[in-house]
């Protein structure tokens, strides 16, 4: 019980200590029910909250063995499957996460009259997040909508747990570019939480952070920055900044990181670097200097140097993040592949094309049997490098593959980016110029509406020069 309370308060280090002590006593006394409960909580703390992926295998094996001894206790089994699924998701193994969380949902449906129970809604929310990570937008949205309906019926429309479910659905709709619907849900979630919990509650601050994320997705970066700063001010007013609660410090670190991203979009590299450095110090204080969370602000700092064309400094920080990911997540993790791709991008900009090619090929190999949408970015990088090396056939093949994959994933911005890249490569072939123009023209509107200012300017300029 003590470990569960510490976990809920965000005190993950003490939660781990308490849970390990309780678990030792339960296993020594052959209390399988208590052991399963303890292992389920401990696995969530170590594998999900603390992101210590190297320690999860042994815990998962112990939990699986304890479940086998347990017999027909389907509720404990369902909760354990869901937790193992969350750990798989935190490691980038989203398909495995979906399998386990679907088992949890089905067990819950057997236990609770077709699944109309808040416990099942929790499983559905986690299952939806795994689907969302795979770009399975329809499946994710269906899970979130069902969870929301269950919670509204069970708890009432103004309950904070209903607001949490609305937030999940709103974030998914944001990812699907359904911004008006997303905004309505996220604003309603914020209103419910403020009414039920007060303006300075961590969940209210999280809702502000979610709204700011929507503004970022809408390219309203000044408004997003103001919203993030408002969230941070509320955290400070609540006494959460530099306080003892791990969840508050994690929220501060997350908001500081998001403030850094907003400054990057606004081309204020110095302000961005200060925010990322604050985030880094907080994450290191929580998790140490070798943890997957720490890699994000380190890469943010690298981005600020990249924006200033200080390539050597950017490379040093990206390589530091890569080493952390290799140590904590392994050299076959999707986030490790993303780090490889970002280093490849720097090498491309520095003119070290063979090094860039090798890095992107290593990243692509990691995605070989994974449907991760970031594979599109890696393919675009490979195509760009091949084009710069004069390997036009290889470049076209990579861009064609990226375009086909983007269409499958129903990602308009990445589809437009791939189409424009392919158009530029095809233009070198006189016989393919009609198709090249058609691809670029189809991409133009999306890139102007959703792309970066540089990309939008590039497609307008490219088409203007070729329409003459």
Q: Could you count the other beta carbons within 10 Å of the beta carbon of residue 111?
A: 15
Model pLDDT for residues 119-151, shown as the tens digit of each residue: 999 999 999 999 988 878 889 999 999 999 999
Model pLDDT for residues 418-437, shown as the tens digit of each residue: 999 999 999 999 999 999 99
Query: Does residue 244 register a pLDDT over 60?
Result: no
Average pLDDT, the chain: 88
Kindly calculate the radius of gyration of the chain based on its CA atoms and give it in whole angstroms: 23
The residue written with tokens 């691809």 in the block is 439
The separation between CA 22 and the C-alpha centre of its own chain, rounded to angstroms, equals 32
Q: CA geometry: angle at 247 spanning 230 and 204, to 5°?
A: 40
DSSP 55: G
Dihedrals phi, psi of 166, to nearest 5 degrees: -60, -40
Q: What is the pLDDT of residue 65?
A: 76
Helices 94-111, 118-133: crossing angle, 10 deg rounding: 160
Cβ-contact 340, 363 below 8 angstroms: yes
CA-to-CA distance for 111 and 103, rounded, in angstroms? 12
Q: What is the pLDDT of residue 4?
A: 65
Q: What is the pLDDT of residue 10?
A: 61
Average pLDDT over residues 391-398: 96
And the tokens for 233?
């001010």
Would you say domain 156-238 falls under CATH 2.60.40.790?
no
Could you tell me which residues come within 8 angstroms of residue 341 by beta carbon, excluding any fewer than 6 positions away? Answer: 359, 360, 363, 374, 377, 378, 381
SS3 18: helix
CA-to-CA distance for 424 and 295, rounded, in angstroms? 34
Query: Does residue 258 register a pLDDT over 90?
Result: yes
Q: CA 10 → CA 38, 296, 398, distances in Å? A: 17, 20, 45
And the tokens for 81?
């499957």
Model pLDDT for residues 316-374, shown as the tens digit of each residue: 999 999 999 999 888 988 899 999 999 999 999 999 999 999 999 999 999 887 767 78
Q: What is the pLDDT of residue 5?
A: 63
Q: What is the pLDDT of residue 40?
A: 77
CA-to-CA distance for 462 and 272, rounded, in angstroms? 31
Q: What is the dihedral of CA 404, 406, 409, 410, to 10 degrees?
A: -110
Could you tell me which residues come within 8 angstroms of residue 384 by beta carbon, excluding any fewer than 6 positions away? Answer: 348, 395, 421
Model pLDDT for residues 79-98, shown as the tens digit of each residue: 888 988 888 887 778 889 99
Whole-model pTM?
0.77
Model pLDDT for residues 18-76, shown as the tens digit of each residue: 777 777 777 677 776 777 777 777 777 777 666 676 777 777 777 777 777 776 667 88
Could you tell me which residues come within 8 angstroms of residue 393 by beta carbon, excluding any fewer than 6 positions away? Answer: none
Query: Does residue 446 register a pLDDT over 60?
Result: yes
Cβ-contact 84, 99 below 8 angstroms: no
Query: Does residue 312 register a pLDDT over 60?
Result: yes
Closest CA to 376 of 320, 330, 415: 415
Query: Does residue 245 register a pLDDT over 50?
Result: no
CA-to-CA distance for 378 and 366, rounded, in angstroms? 11
CA-to-CA distance for 196 and 188, rounded, in angstroms? 12
Q: CA 236 → CA 61, 142, 205, 273, distances in Å? A: 42, 37, 11, 21
The separation between CA 238 and the C-alpha centre of its own chain, rounded to angstroms, equals 27
Average pLDDT over residues 167-175: 91
């Amino acid at each position: 019980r003590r470990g569960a309370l510490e976990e809920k308060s965000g005190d993950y280090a003490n939660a781990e200590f308490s849970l390990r002590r309780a678990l030792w006593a339960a296993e020594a006394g052959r209390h399988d029910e208590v052991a399963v409960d303890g292992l389920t909580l401990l696995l969530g703390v170590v594998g999900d909250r603390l992101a210590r992926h190297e320690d999860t295998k042994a815990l998962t094996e112990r939990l699986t063995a304890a479940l086998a001894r347990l017999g027909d206790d389907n509720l404990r089994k369902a909760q354990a499957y869901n937790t193992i699924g969350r750990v798989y998701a935190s490691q980038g193994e989203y398909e495995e996460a979906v399998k386990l969380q679907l088992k949890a949902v089905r067990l819950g449906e057997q236990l609770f009259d077709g699944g109309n129970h808040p416990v099942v809604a929790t499983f559905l929310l986690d299952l939806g997040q795994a689907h969302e990570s795979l770009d399975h937008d329809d499946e994710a949205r269906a899970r979130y909508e069902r969870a929301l309906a269950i919670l509204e019926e069970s708890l009432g429309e103004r309950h904070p747990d209903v607001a949490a479910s609305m937030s999940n659905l709103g974030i998914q709709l944001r990812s699907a570019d359904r911004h008006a619907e997303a905004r309505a849900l996220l604003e309603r979630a914020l209103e419910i939480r403020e009414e039920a919990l007060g303006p300075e509650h961590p969940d209210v601050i999280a809702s502000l952070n979610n709204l700011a994320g929507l503004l970022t997705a809408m390219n309203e970066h000044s408004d997003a920055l103001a919203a993030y700063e408002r969230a941070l001010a509320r955290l400070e007013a609540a006494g959460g900044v530099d306080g003892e609660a791990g969840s508050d410090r994690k929220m501060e670190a997350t908001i500081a990181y998001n403030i850094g991203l907003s400054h990057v979009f606004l081309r204020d590299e110095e302000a961005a670097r200060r925010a990322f450095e604050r985030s880094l110090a907080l994450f290191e204080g929580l998790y140490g200097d070798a943890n997957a969370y720490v890699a994000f602000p380190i890469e943010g700092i690298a981005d600020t140097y990249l924006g200033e064309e200080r390539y050597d400094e950017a490379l040093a920080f990206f390589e530091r993040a890569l080493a952390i990911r290799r140590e904590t997540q392994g050299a076959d993790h999707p986030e490790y592949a993303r780090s490889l791709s970002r280093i490849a991008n720097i090498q491309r900009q520095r003119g070290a094309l063979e090094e860039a090619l090798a890095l992107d090929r290593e990243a692509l190999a990691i995605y070989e049997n994974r449907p991760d949408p970031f594979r599109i970015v890696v393919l675009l990088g490979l195509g760009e490098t091949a084009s710069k090396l004069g390997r036009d056939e290889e470049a076209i093949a990579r861009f064609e593959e990226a375009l086909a994959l983007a269409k499958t994933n129903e990602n308009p911005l990445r589809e437009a980016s791939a189409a424009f890249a392919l158009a530029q490569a095809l233009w070198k072939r006189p016989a393919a110029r009609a198709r090249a123009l058609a691809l670029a023209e189809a991409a133009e509107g999306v890139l102007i509406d959703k792309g970066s200012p540089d990309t939008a300017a590039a497609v307008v300029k490219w088409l203007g020069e070729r329409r003459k």
